Amino acid sequence: MTHVLRAFGAFLRVGIGTMIQYRGEILLWAIWGLVNPAVLYALWSAAAQTHENGEVAGYGRGEFAAYFFMMMIVGHMTTAWDTYEMGYLIRSGTMSPKLLRPVLPIWEALASNLAYKLVTLVFVVPMWILFALIVRPAFHGAPWQVALGVVSVLLAGAMNFVIGYCVALIAFWSPKLDATGEVFFGVGMFFGGRFSPLAALPPLLGSIASLLPFRWMFAFPADLTIGRINHPYEAFAGLAMQTAWLVIGIVAFRLIWRSAVKRYTAVSG
Amino acid sequence: MTPPATHRGHPRAHSPPPIGPDNMPLSMPQIAVNQLSKSFKVAEREGGFMPAVRSVFRRKYKQVQAVDAVSFTVEPAEIVGFLGPNGAGKTTTLKMLSGLLHPTGGTATVLGHTPWRREAAYLQRISMLMGQRSQLAWDLPAMDSFMVHAAVYRIPAAQYKSTLDELVALLELEPVLKKQVRTLSLGERMKCEICVSLLHRPSVLFLDEPTIGVDITMQARIREFIRAYNREHGATIILTSHYMADVTALCKRIIVIDHGRILFDGELERLSDRLAPFKVIKIDLSADVTNYDFAARGEVLSSTGRKVELRVPKGSAAAVTTRLLSDLPVLDLTIEDPPIEDVIGRAFLDKSAAGSAPAASPSNSDTVAAGAGGRT
């Protein structure tokens, strides 16, 4: 494990170097990550104004502002591109040298992912602050909710990365399925509550959302932090669900990886 | 080919085998491949609209046998050249031996490991350099990739520094270390690729087209460097190349592979004897000659003005030469082995050899697939 940590440290340093090299592009990606919640805030806020009590599913304008503000943060923490990239890595043969190293390629992917999140904080934190100053979110979270919310956001980032990586491994069987990333992202947007708070979904879709991991990746950490999950029992149950999904993801990765490398055909090199 | 150590006349029957630098008995081949096979299932269809529609409902697959029951052994510190046309199965074999691909049949052990188990202890001791694939971070100076490599391969700091200094000096890398990899010329990048591949001092090196795309001077330097690494570190090397000069300069032993099968396994100089037992006689005439039947002396390869090239069977080269010297006003005459490219090209053309030959087996003598030597 020590040597994996040493390798991870080196991957992280190189990852940060690469991100700094590409600062212009990652700035645009980071901005893109903010546009989505900002637009949705505008829509839902307008929708809330049209209701008599100024609320939709218990969210008023300020609550929507807080919710989508948190979605910016959660969205940033859960950004991962392996589902988009794996097919290309395999098709182009770029995966081959990675597979020949005595350290699993997932560590390099994780380090690169972390590097992106760390470097882009320089851009996104000021934008988050600016957004908050403009929309004035109504936070109702008590200190314990905010503290658990921070843990929850970190867990969301970890589970999203691992589960996303498992989905990305489909490329070992079908390297041309580039839309995998889009499907994973789109389904996650819908069932994770990134289009709308889950409370605003019809009950059936809400039930389906509970069975999928996306709720725990996005809606739960946002709701917990802004104070919409009031019972500590409910908060800890949610954290347990996140941990369970993370463990499922890690176990699934180990199993799928073993079959995936057997399937590897080293296309074009 | 270098015979297995057990056949070299060292009686070891009553004593434990000596231990080599890799903690393996010296009598064990470092690479042992037995009936190794790899086939791929490839979807295929006719071009055009209707075949495209039909393929949605009924997909046709074809089994492609990339490597077909290949067997050979490689001794410690040997350099073996893999020769063959595109699609012959050279790279696929190397990929299986490096652990990248799982075979569909047969066995292989390298340094006592089964490669495709991909144990870290195995990957730690080998290197595979793919001339067409970069293992360097594209946007950063090569130095950063070297640093990552040191961490990934757990190279102790002192060893890393001394190896890097040595490689940088030998490959003259100093001026390029701080440049972004994507701004390097192909030759410069290739030197960096070689450097990163050797930083952990691998015992076994798989080199797949290590000189592809670089100019002749650089090719020669890369060859010299590979030879030096083999000499100084006793590394076992399998090399594939399209450049015959790579192989003739580095490898005493070659394995010719085509359609996934071994056509020849043996010493390079024996290849001509086995596959093309001919000599090429080149004549420069001092005067124009008409009505001389060169074809009666041998196969006329070319005839331009006063220069004639004949191919004759090795056994009759001396007699034909004497005859030519007495019959003709010869200014200059040379007798040469046919170019190795020709020899191998002819072997590949001999489809019957590829189709009927059993896979060559390792032995202490040259092995040639049946049918490959009979072509004239």
Strand partners, B107: B34
Contact B137 A18 (CB under 8 A): yes
Tell me the CA distances in angstroms from B278 to B255, B257, B301, B372, one per residue in order: 20, 22, 12, 14
- Residue B259 pLDDT: 87
Both structure tokens of A2:
């020590």
CA-based nearest distance B101→chain A, Å: 6
Q: Strand B299-304's sheet: what is its strand order?
A: B299-304, B307-313, B278-285, B330-336
Q: Whole-angstrom Cα distance, residue A225 to residue A219?
A: 10
Q: Whole-angstrom Cα distance, residue B366 to residue B48?
A: 49
Residue (of A39, A224, A266, A231) closest to B98 by Cα position = A266
Tell me the CA distances in angstroms from B227 to B173, B233, B235, one per residue in order: 18, 10, 10
State the CB neighbour count (10 A cutoff) for residue B338: 18
Nearest to B139 among A21, A265, A269 (CB): A21
Residue of chain B nearest A19, judged by CA positions = B139
- Burial pattern B222-254, b for ≥16 Cβ within 10 A else e, equals bbebbeebbeeeebbbbbbbebbebbebbbebb
Chain centroid to CA A51? 32
Q: For every one of its 376 residues, what pLDDT tens digit does chain B have, with 9 covering 90 and above?
A: 333 333 333 333 333 444 444 444 455 789 999 999 999 887 777 777 777 777 777 777 888 889 999 999 999 999 999 988 778 888 899 999 999 999 999 999 999 999 999 999 999 999 999 877 788 888 889 999 999 999 999 999 999 999 999 889 888 889 899 899 999 988 888 889 999 999 999 999 999 988 887 788 888 888 888 999 999 999 999 998 877 778 888 898 999 888 899 988 998 878 767 766 788 899 999 888 888 888 888 889 888 888 999 989 888 889 999 999 999 999 999 888 777 667 777 766 664 444 444 333 333 344 544 333 322 2
Residues ≥6 apart with Cβ < 8 Å to A139: A66, A225, A226, A227
Residues ≥6 apart with Cβ < 8 Å to B299: B310, B311, B312, B376
Residue of chain A nearest B152, judged by CA positions = A7
Nearest to A96 among B120, B126, B133 (CB): B133
- Residue A109 pLDDT: 96
State the CB neighbour count (10 A cutoff) for residue B127: 25
Place of tokens 């087209």: B209
Q: Whole-angstrom Cα distance, residue B249 to residue B254?
A: 12
Both structure tokens of B157:
């700091």
- Residue B31 pLDDT: 95
Residue at B317: amino acid letter: A
Mutate to test the interface with A, among B100, B102, B122 (most CBs of A within 10 A): B100
Mean pLDDT of all residues in A31-58 = 90
Task: Tell me if B202 sits within 8 A of B235, measured CB to CB.
Answer: yes
Could you read off the pLDDT of A185-196 as tens digits, one per residue?
A: 999 999 999 999
Both structure tokens of B164:
């890097």
Question: Left (φ > 0), alpha (ψ -120 to 50) or beta: where does B89 sit?
Answer: left
State the CB neighbour count (10 A cutoff) for residue B197: 24
Residue B72, classed as helix, strand or coil, is: strand
Chain centroid to CA B216? 18
Chain centroid to CA B373? 20
Contact B133 A21 (CB under 8 A): no
- Residue B27 pLDDT: 56
Contact B140 A10 (CB under 8 A): no
DSSP letter at B360 equals: P
Would you call B101 an interface residue with chain A, using a CB distance cutoff of 8 Å?
yes
Both structure tokens of B324:
């030519």
Can you give the residue ranges of every domain in chain A? 2-263
Residues ≥6 apart with Cβ < 8 Å to A201: A193, A209
Place of tokens 């990305």: A168
- Residue A33 pLDDT: 87
Q: What are phi and psi of B176, to 5 degrees?
A: -105, -5
Mean pLDDT of all residues in A56-82 = 92
Residue of chain B nearest A17, judged by CA positions = B140
Q: Whole-angstrom Cα distance, residue B31 to residue B126?
A: 12
Task: Tell me if A40 sits within 8 A of A75, measured CB to CB.
Answer: no
Q: Whole-angstrom Cα distance, residue A250 to residue A165?
A: 10
